[in-house]
Structure 1
Amino acid sequence: MTQMYKKKLIEVAVPLEAINAASAREKSIRHGHPSTLHLWWARRPLAACRAVLFAQLVDDPSGYAGKLLDDPKIHERAEADLAFRRKAWQERKGDAHGNVPDTPEPTLEDCAADIERKRLFEIIEELVKWESSTNEEVLERARAEIRRSCGGVLPPVHDPFSGGGSIPLEAQRLGLPAFGSDLNPVAVMIGKAMIEIPPKFKDMPPIHPGIKDRSLYRNAEGLAEDVKYYGEWMRERAWERIGHLYPKVDLPKEYGGGEATVIAWIWARTVPSPDPAFADVQVPLISSFLLSSKKGKEIWIEPVADRASKTITYRVRTGGTKSELEAAALGTTAGKRQAFRCVMSGAALPYDYVRRAGKLGKMGQELIAVVAERKGGRAYIPPSQQHKDVAISAVPGWAPETELPDNPRDFKTPNYGLTTFGDLFTNRQLVALNTLCDLIAEVRGQIRIDAISLGMATDGDTLSSGGAGALAYAEALSVYFAFGISKMTDYHSTITSWHHGREIIRNAFGRQALPMTWDFTEANPFSKSTGNWGNCIEWGVKTLDQLQLAAPGRLLQQDAQTASYADGAVVSTDPPYYDNIGYADLSDYFYAWMRRSLKSTYPDLFGVLATPKSDELVATPYRHGSKDAAEAFFLDGMRRAISNMAQQSSDEFPATIYYAFKQSEIEQEGISSTGWAAFLQAVVEAGYAVVGTWPLRTEMANRMIASGTNALANSVVLVCRKKEAMAEVITRAEFTRALKRELPPAIAELQTANIAPADMPQSAIGPGMGVFSRYKAVLESDDSPMSVKAALQLINRELDEYLGGIQGEFDADTRFAITWFEQHGMAKGEYGAADNLARARGISVESVKHAGIIESAAGKVRILARDELDDSWEPVGDGHLTVWECLQHLIRKYEQDGVSHETAILLKKIDAKAEAVKDLAYCLYDISANKRKDAKEATAYNALIADWTELTRLAAAVHDTGGDRQTRLDL
């Protein structure tokens, strides 16, 4: 098929390891990261978005490799590389036994293109670092490459599912006009706050009347300083109005006496005792009595039930016996079936009883402890009636009335009578949040006065109508104060709880759901600890300080199915993932407060009482009546949205679409779940051909070693081109033949790029779906169109055949070991079976034993474990060297020393068999993970491949110094 476009880098290769490592590290970045401006769920890491956009826009060197050879230095390097690659290619062809794909002979242009790709990779590897997000030199280098590939005219980027705004933000950082849209008004406001509002006031000094720290302000630094100043103005006035609701506490003598500011009041929900004798007693529901679980510093709450007076009091205990601490850790829980126990009577409190009490309005709350600030740590104090009375005295003037959704998977509180979003807050919390909302209107007026007095234009154009004068500036600042209130609600609700390990308040959204909490915290907005107003504002200030406003931006509320794009837009987007997250339901938690604060600023955006639900593209069964109806809605809507995308996007550039996996989405045979298949089906039916898939570990744990574990990539980036108008219709048999012809060389290329074995099934989908989706249709034997799920099954089968076919390349002893391992693992098997297996490969059991692979004794045979291998083994001089023992010794060294000098030396020593060793690691991963279900063994092979590039780089720096076989590492 004739290619009518220039290939972009992302269609050929990207430095996945660098992108994954930067994405992993980014999870631990807090101060200044845009994710701290406002919570959004499943937000893509900025590093991944930045790298994908760059690779999506920059030409792949294969399109201009001939011109590269005009440079004498590149020509010389290419010739040297070609000699090495041709030798390796010839050796590989000679040893293939018909099982190695028929890869074309390498050319001088191939080598030149690889040299140039390496240069582009180095730019990406620097670009994805967190420190580079504000490094103008690094960013400008990337922008220059984009301009060179785009003829000096930078195209606009559009994300029709902008969500948390990561993609438009990174487009703006790269100097590209950034556009985004979303149906959800909370997502739209997040995008406006990051890419639309700050450029309006770029490089402007602050207008507040206080002392300015400097004379030169870049990007949004002046805006940030005003947010901080007027945020403090709001705090002072809030304290004047409601400070009496947050009294200090008297410290006991063991804490030095005096008064201290409260960090948190800890409350327990209560229900009437089920025992008729104590029916008028409210008993606590507590998940844990622990306040501090730090070893040697344990502090806990002890309930004291007085049956005679029918009262329960609470005292704070320090230390205790092992049994006391174990009991404290359980709170009043009594196992899953009974839920809780009554501290007054010992009777069981089943969940059904608790639910019934909640729905009848009989659930209360009781203060059980107070946590205060003190020099050197926390002070834990028993509850006092005074503090309880002050809290109860608060009378809010307004509470959110939006009903919580009937979605038991993600929302648990309606089961217990808490049915509106307002029910999730105490009266005192509601008063504090209302006060801050009211102050936003007041501070807006003060900012306008100060701005005019400083000379800012007095035009009456609002922010939403495009204004940039004093009124618009005052409204702009109010957006960030509303975000501060959103941050407050995440720490000021009855869904928060006390983390006794870290001695801090947990926020409400520890995950993308609103659970039921039994003992909860009430934070102090005027303290210096978690949830205080100053910190909630400071998060936004630090984010604004970090913004790089290199291009204009625009965020609109639009349905992706009908959204309008800028002419020639490049599309990169992160759509909803089937039924993973109910964005609209969850964001109503913030929307109610945002609407109260910003309705006058953005009347169109906040004109409805709750976020739009009916058109949200998630497959939610409770909303659509059944699982099938939800799937049909999702598939139809996603097809429309992606069709709209294909019709309006640029022909010159590929589109990139993210898909985030849940671990449960991969079935045993590697076939994707309904969500993944439905999503791909929508992409194909919308008119796109999938030309690549790149697995990104965008949700990795914060430890870098996680890149070597046996875990699937969390996201796949689909690289899509519009399908040719004259695409053909082919049969299933023709499709299968095309797969057999095209998939093996593509998989070999992925292996060359050191794609981790765990990610190979997802990566192979790219070239496999590239074959499937370039045709108008693939017809089954009954002339019905083949589904995407059926195509994925065939692609996976070809991958299995390829990995199995690799075995033909290995020496006979290794092939014996592979088959024996597949059948027996590390367990013993009968000698007779081993003898038959060895004879079929033209060797004997004794040959395999001589190679140091197996133990054979008493009529039994087993493979030697890695820790049983000969410690003195050296590949040089081994007269019976096998690929199997090379791999096992290398993994043992890697497990002992990691990516180290010693591991690199060993890899250097087996250099002649290095590629075969890597192939065997892929093969054994497949057997371990998919056939033997041995996760520990699979992890070993996956980890080695994940670090293969770094190991080979270190091995290349190892120099042999002569006959003594000593080595040195040249760095």
Structure 2
Amino acid sequence: MINPKKLIEVAMPIKEISAECVRDDRVQHGHISSLHKWWARRPLPVCRAVVFASLVPDPLDPNCPQAFKDSIELLLEKKNNPGDPYATYSDIPWTSVFDPMEDNLRNRLQMFIGKFTQPMQDHLLGKTTKPEAGKMLTAESLIKWDSKNDEKIINKARKLIWVAHNSVIESAAKETAIELLADFDIHYKAIKTAENELYSLTDRHIETDNSKKLTENLHNAIEAFLHKMPKVFDPFAGGGAIPLEAARLGCRSYGNDINPVAHIIQKGSLEFPQKYGKPISYTTGEFIKLYGEDEFNKVANENKKYKNGNVIGVNIPNRLAFDVEFYIKSILRETEKEIGNLYPKNENGDRPITYYWSKMGQCSNPSCKTDVPLLRGFYLANTSSKKVYLNPIIKDNKIEFEIKYGAYDKEIEGWINRGNLKCPCCGSITDVKLLKEQNINVGLKEKLLAVIIDGKKGKDYRLPTEDELLILTKLPAIERPREKMQRNSAGGDTFSWGVTEWGQLFSDRQLIALTTLVKIINNFKTKIPSEEIEYNKAIFTYLGIWTDRMASRLTKFGLIDLGGEKVVDLFGRQAIPMVFDYPEVNVFRLEQVSWIVKYIISESNSFNISIVHNASSGDKSQFNDKFLTAVITDPPYYDAMAYADLSDFFYVWLKKTLGDVYPINFATPQTPKTEECTALKHHHNGSKDLAKKHFENKLLEIFDAIEHQTSDIVSIMFAHQSTEAWTTLCNSILGARMNITGSWAIDTEKKGGLKQDKAFLSSSVTVSCVPSQSAGYGDYKEVKKAIEATVAREVDELYRLGFRGADLLTACFGQAVSEFGKYKKVEKADGSEVTVAELLAMARESAFNALLKGFDGDEYTKFYIGWLQLNGFAESDFDDAATFAKAGLSINVAELFKEHILIQNKN
């Protein structure tokens, strides 16, 4: 049987995915990104879309099983969906001409993945303003945030994957769609029945013959279901978004990452909520034994069980969420007993929210030597409705402040600019080099300037009291963590200031608070009932994650968001810059537990966990030959992100809280560096060439293992579209005996909105590949002719689907590589080998010529006609125009502006 192409190889609703990805960045509570910081995590909509489209066939492929085509009819057609939510567009909304979308099974699948609402269609057609973020996609769209726990929508996706997977298995290949869907219902119902029986058992946490039997029943039901679903693996799982969505769609999901911090994040986001975040029913006596009388008295009446008017038990909707919150609050109470005096209360018993500090630089003028706060500005809050600032009062070389509400009376210049200090007392400039010497030699002094408190209408601001200043002189000595930071990555520009160790990122009081939390957490481990070892491991994991969240906000390198009046953690960028003024959050006012609890609740509906590993990617022994159905991944790119260096910040604290829980994972002093698939020269003796070679070899090794382990498709998200990026990606894929079969530009990066709505150049590309036996040597002329024919067909097909601009060109690249990849090498007449860069130029020129379809005219006219075909009159990036001008033409983009063919806007 010839395998049909997967949907991802022929079509993707990239505009709709891009729109929801932009929204995804704005979702907060319950989102995977809200659990723990990780860098460059892919948005959930693109992960869900790519997983789904990689696992279902193209229904228009002649080899597509009839059962799958019939299942689309049953699940997505009008007769079974009131209102016909998956009807295709009557006019493709982002094109410049009237373009009805053909109503066929392939396009129905695309509309199921994501479809614009009518208001969004009207906006793209230029009729109305853009709807708010949550109203761009229809409620029935698979990738919409609101759909993630919608059983009706998610089960449609699971059923389609179920039919797709089982209709090509020999034992089930002759079954009809109705039979396969009925089989899904039987297996899914078995899981729900087993869940209901287990979770309705009172005191199910106590091991009895009955609880063991019901637990085993649930396990067996889930295994029977997963046995009939695809196996999906992400070897660079990082923050966990791809395995999370694979598991949500019912697949047997695997994730791997070499980084122990990523592994802990994956345990907390992909395994424990789905496994332990379930209802539990306690008898009254058992609840009080576990949590105490005070906690019992706090239980809401609707969560109590009554018999004859008496309370006989307690129902907890989510055991894991309840326990995590209970233990964290208990730890905070114990912490307050030890160090609560370090955060003085006022006469009403209230504590401040935040303390505002500044480092002090000494003026280098020998006759002045004033200690000057290193302030770039003086606002404490700066919103449209509220402005608060520190007003300097300078007298006799002494600097004091008063707090004033409203805008500046007159503009006040900051005292530090580009690291240079301008003394407000004498006007002298102290060079940044001298300030760095001060910090390295004796340390810059620090001064508490203001205190942020609760007010009647939000936050209020005042000067520190004598008690608040006095307590700072009585802080106990504390030992700082001595683990080293990495220069030029996690260190940012802090090294030149003498900040080279992670312990230097904390003030004394911050460090006291964190080390006290760690001590009490480790004490609590001995107090938690020890009968459920694996469940306790989950609780301890969240205590470690909570400590990480606290640590990232309890540093001297955080910032205040003046517009939002909130504290921003130190990882606003991909490196840690030097900070001169900072907010010190009161540890007892730092609300972090709700973020964890809401995430647990948000992902507890699923029955399906991901199996996660902490190992070096590229290990062929991890899976048997062709064990996996699909690999879907987002690999690193050269030196774009120093994952190991940055995550050492968290590793330092996780090793203290979880080193005994995960001894193997935290066996090393810091995160593994040399085996990481990156190109950071400071990990390769300072050699850029060695680092680049390491990355390329490692990527090839990993892709080689993937080809060995995977029986079907590999989908790769790559966050770069430069020629170098494409060259590296293509060489690694082709070198691992795979061939690219499709490529899509999807806007997955964090932006304020859709980039020009109609013709944006995406910064991410997703390619699909399959194992391929390339044979022999290709003749350049023959391969060029094949590429031209293939790209011409692709342009025609994709143009009818509404593809324009850079999106169309990117899609053509994949098809061009598929022709190129049929051969071990492609050679010109002189014997020289054709490079990937030449291939991409060939694909671009072929797409351009296909659009012109034999049109004969001068260079400017060709550009004009081709540009209109691709982009219409919509705005586009300068780089788009420059790239397009090189496609089969010999004109400079500057000439196009000179001739007024293109008009440059003010940006």
Asked whether the 8 Å contact 1:293–1:501 carries over to 2, the reply is yes
- Partner residue in 2 for 1:861: none
- Partner residue in 2 for 1:331: 414
Closer, same or farther: CA 362–68 of 1 in aligned 2, 3 Å: closer
**Aligned: 1:641 with 2:702:** yes
Q: What CA distance in whole angstroms lies between the structure 1 residues aligned with 2:775 and 2:317?
A: 49
Q: Which letter maps to 2:406? A: G
Asked whether the 8 Å contact 1:202–1:549 carries over to 2, the reply is no
Secondary structure of 1:494's partner?
coil
- Aligned counterpart in structure 1 of residue 777 of structure 2, from 723, 729, 749: 729
Gaps of 5+ in 2: 78-100, 115-140, 167-179, 181-227, 282-286, 306-313, 876-880
- Partner residue in 2 for 1:175: 250
Q: What CA distance in whole angstroms lies between the structure 2 residues aligned with 1:346 and 1:72?
A: 78
The C-alpha deviation readout for 1:535-592, integer Å capped at 9, x for no partner, is 3111111111111433242111111122513623421111112211100000001110
1:655-804 matches, cutoff 5 A? 655-661=714-720, 666=722, 672=723, 674-703=724-753, 705-706=754-755, 708=757, 711-724=760-773, 727-804=775-852
**Aligned: 1:230 with 2:327:** yes
- Partner residue in 2 for 1:565: 623
Closer, same or farther: CA 762–700 of 1 in aligned 2, 3 Å: farther
- Partner residue in 2 for 1:595: 655
Gaps of 5+ in 1: 78-109, 251-257, 450-457, 459-469, 667-671, 826-882, 893-919, 942-971
**Aligned: 1:538 with 2:594:** yes
Q: Which letter maps to 1:245? A: L
Identity of aligned residues (%): 28
1:72 offset after TM fit, Å? 15
Secondary structure of 1:445's partner?
coil
- Partner residue in 1 for 2:438: 357
**Aligned: 1:612 with 2:612:** no
- Partner residue in 1 for 2:209: none
Q: Which letter maps to 1:786? A: V
Closer, same or farther: CA 940–696 of 1 in aligned 2, 3 Å: farther
**Aligned: 1:372 with 2:453:** yes
1:393 offset after TM fit, Å? 3.1
Asked whether the 8 Å contact 1:681–1:787 carries over to 2, the reply is no
CA RMSD, 1 decimal: 3.7
Q: What CA distance in whole angstroms lies between the structure 2 residues aligned with 1:578 and 1:19?
A: 26
Q: What CA distance in whole angstroms lies between the structure 2 residues aligned with 1:597 and 1:296?
A: 43
- Partner residue in 2 for 1:10: 8
Larger-Rg structure = 1
- Partner residue in 1 for 2:354: 264
Secondary structure of 2:744's partner?
strand
Asked whether the 8 Å contact 1:659–1:716 carries over to 2, the reply is yes
Q: What CA distance in whole angstroms lies between the structure 2 residues aligned with 1:63 and 1:571?
A: 25
- Aligned counterpart in structure 2 of residue 55 of structure 1, from 53, 61, 72: 53
**Aligned: 1:161 with 2:236:** yes
Q: What CA distance in whole angstroms lies between the structure 2 residues aligned with 1:698 and 1:420?
A: 34
Asked whether the 8 Å contact 2:7–2:58 carries over to 1, the reply is yes
Closer, same or farther: CA 791–409 of 1 in aligned 2, 3 Å: farther
Asked whether the 8 Å contact 1:695–1:759 carries over to 2, the reply is yes
Q: Which letter maps to 2:339? A: I
- Partner residue in 2 for 1:553: 610
Q: Which letter maps to 2:585? A: A
Asked whether the 8 Å contact 2:629–2:713 carries over to 1, the reply is no
Q: Which letter maps to 1:12? A: V
- Partner residue in 1 for 2:399: 312
Q: What CA distance in whole angstroms lies between the structure 2 residues aligned with 1:730 and 1:489?
A: 57
Q: What CA distance in whole angstroms lies between the structure 2 residues aligned with 1:332 and 1:584?
A: 36
- Aligned counterpart in structure 2 of residue 492 of structure 1, from 543, 549, 554: 554
Q: What CA distance in whole angstroms lies between the structure 2 residues aligned with 1:68 and 1:479?
A: 44
Closer, same or farther: CA 521–795 of 1 in aligned 2, 3 Å: same
- Partner residue in 1 for 2:151: 136
1:484 offset after TM fit, Å? 1.1
1:781 offset after TM fit, Å? 4.7
**Aligned: 1:523 with 2:581:** no
Secondary structure of 1:654's partner?
strand
Q: Which letter maps to 1:318? A: Y
Q: What CA distance in whole angstroms lies between the structure 2 residues aligned with 1:503 and 1:235?
A: 24
Secondary structure of 1:791's partner?
helix
Q: What CA distance in whole angstroms lies between the structure 2 residues aligned with 1:541 and 1:583?
A: 26
1:339-354 matches, cutoff 5 A? 339-354=420-435
Asked whether the 8 Å contact 1:642–1:682 carries over to 2, the reply is yes
Asked whether the 8 Å contact 2:489–2:642 carries over to 1, the reply is no
1:920-935 matches, cutoff 5 A? none
- Aligned counterpart in structure 2 of residue 435 of structure 1, from 491, 511, 516: 516
Q: What CA distance in whole angstroms lies between the structure 2 residues aligned with 1:233 and 1:622?
A: 43
Moved more, 223-232 or 586-595: 223-232
Secondary structure of 1:29's partner?
coil
Closer, same or farther: CA 432–187 of 1 in aligned 2, 3 Å: same
The C-alpha deviation readout for 1:182-235, integer Å capped at 9, x for no partner, is 100011111111223334435352765334554899999321121112221112
Asked whether the 8 Å contact 2:490–2:642 carries over to 1, the reply is no
- Partner residue in 1 for 2:171: none
The C-alpha deviation readout for 1:156-179, integer Å capped at 9, x for no partner, is 111111100011111111111111
Q: What CA distance in whole angstroms lies between the structure 2 residues aligned with 1:518 and 1:318?
A: 23
**Aligned: 1:293 with 2:382:** yes
1:692 offset after TM fit, Å? 0.6
Closer, same or farther: CA 499–249 of 1 in aligned 2, 3 Å: farther
1:707 offset after TM fit, Å? 5.9
The C-alpha deviation readout for 1:376-430, integer Å capped at 9, x for no partner, is 1221112345323323533364432111111169611111111101100111111
Asked whether the 8 Å contact 2:304–2:315 carries over to 1, the reply is no
1:702 offset after TM fit, Å? 4.3
Secondary structure of 1:448's partner?
coil
Closer, same or farther: CA 390–749 of 1 in aligned 2, 3 Å: farther
**Aligned: 1:418 with 2:474:** no
Q: TM-score, normalised by structure 1?
A: 0.72
The C-alpha deviation readout for 1:417-451, integer Å capped at 9, x for no partner, is 111011001111111111221222233333326xx
1:816 offset after TM fit, Å? 11
The number of residues matched between the two structures is 757
Q: What CA distance in whole angstroms lies between the structure 1 residues aligned with 2:71 and 2:599?
A: 46
Asked whether the 8 Å contact 1:158–1:168 carries over to 2, the reply is yes
Asked whether the 8 Å contact 1:263–1:523 carries over to 2, the reply is yes
1:802 offset after TM fit, Å? 3.5
Secondary structure of 1:706's partner?
coil
Looking at secondary structure, tell me which structure has more helix per residue.
1
- Partner residue in 1 for 2:161: 146
Q: Which letter maps to 1:54? A: F
- Partner residue in 2 for 1:583: 643
